Amino acid sequence: MMPFERETMISLVLEEIGRLVVAEDVKPAPGAGEVRVRVAVTGICGSDIHGYTGENGRRFPGQVMGHEASGWIDQIGPDSEEFGLSLNQPVTFNPLVVPLDQAENFRGREQHCPDRYVIGVKASIPAAFATHVIIPSRNIVPLGPDVPVEHGALVEPLAVGVHAVRRVMAEPDTRCLVIGGGPIGQAVVLALKMAGVGQIYVSEVDSARRDLVEQLGARALDPLAEPLTTALDALGGPVGVTFDAVGTDSSVADALSTTTRGGRICLVGMGSPAITLNAFRISTDERSLVGSFTYSGQDFLDAAEYVSRASKEMSLLISREVSPAEADSAFRSLAKGDGTPGKVLVRFNA
């Protein structure tokens, strides 16, 4: 029998809820207007964890997840000349894809396009928990030569923070509170620093996460030690803007009680699909409650620019790297709440 060579890749398949397996497959070739990226690392997002456990119902058996990744251009498909990409160039990608014929209509608010999809969320598209992934060339975001390639995987979560800060127009002199000091709360802290905000408080029950957000430049508060309102009273009273990076009945109630009358609350956490809240704290007290989801294309580019000049902070955000073979146990451990303060990255290529 003639031996034949075929180029293979490996990916992490969500075999069933609660189990990721390493699978080998034939490397896909990029189509028109696409490139293939050789993935360096892919970050494990809270939404991937909740998909793995089946809690959010937004990930499906058979799916290859992964939307926070960086790597190198591996192959360039036809009709990609206008993007000026070159082989082996270090890149990340914006996973929110707007169909080409709607790009002009939704420029600047890509997340509002009803036909948009997110690579790593849409089950039918193999995504970035893999050695190789196909990405539309227009979604590729080059990384500068001095950026450690793994920092490129942090652009996506940071872009979530950048968008949230812009949704509530946090001004430099506004005192801000972030409820929840996990990766999204950490991204909001950095986005607030980008916006020049000087006084940032973070409410977080986990001590390792409190340490981390303090290293990022925020003041950490332990809501189990004393009520948030009491802690804030000692620090100048209610804040002008609160970011709820948790998104449950109790976190929204906290946000409504810690924000001044006339203040703004940004709901960026998606902990619960439905919440009950005290309507008078919005109507009578004139607080605004604003939602935030993903980012615009510009938010993503601005986050990439910030990542390129904040190497120290980015390193703080990465807690550890695991191999594809270790990914299933890392997911299981993160799902249990193992006290990991920051991001866990899966390493696919060096």
Binding residues for Zn ion, rule: CB under 5 A, are 45
User: Residue 20: how many CB atoms within 10 A of its CB?
Assistant: 24
Based on CB atoms, which residue is closest to Zn ion, 45 or 64?
Answer: 45
Least Cβ distance, residue 196 to Zn ion (angstroms): 25
**Chain residue at closest Cβ approach to Zn ion:** 45
Q: Which is nearer to Zn ion, 120 or 263 (CB)?
A: 120
- Whole-Å CA distances, 233 to 46, 137, 175, 205, 221: 32, 50, 13, 19, 12
Nearest residue (CB) to Zn ion, 189 versus 221: 189
Looking only at the bridges linking them, the beta strands covering 200-203 and 219-221 are parallel
Smallest gap from residue 312 Cβ to Zn ion (A): 23
Supply the minimum distance, in Å, between the C-beta of residue 329 and Zn ion. Answer: 21
Nearer Cβ to Zn ion (45/188): 45
Cβ 190 to Zn ion shortest distance, Å: 15
Q: Kindly state the greatest CA–CA separation across the chain.
A: 80
d(CA 23, CA 12): 6
134 CA to centre of own chain = 20
Are the CB atoms for 106 and 298 separated by under 8 Å?
no
Of the pair 60, 83, the CB lying nearest Zn ion is at 60
What is the C-alpha to C-alpha distance for residues 291 and 275, in angstroms, rounded to an integer? 13
The beta strands (E) that lie in the chain are given as: 8-16, 19-26, 34-43, 69-76, 90-93, 96-97, 117-118, 132-136, 140-142, 176-179, 200-203, 219-221, 239-244, 259-267, 288-291, 318-322, 343-347
Shortest reach from residue 102's CB to Zn ion, in Å: 23
Q: How far is the CB of 68 from Zn ion (least distance, A)?
A: 6
Least Cα distance to 121 among 182, 187, 74, 68 occurs for 68
* Residue among 45 and 303 whose Cβ is closer to Zn ion: 45
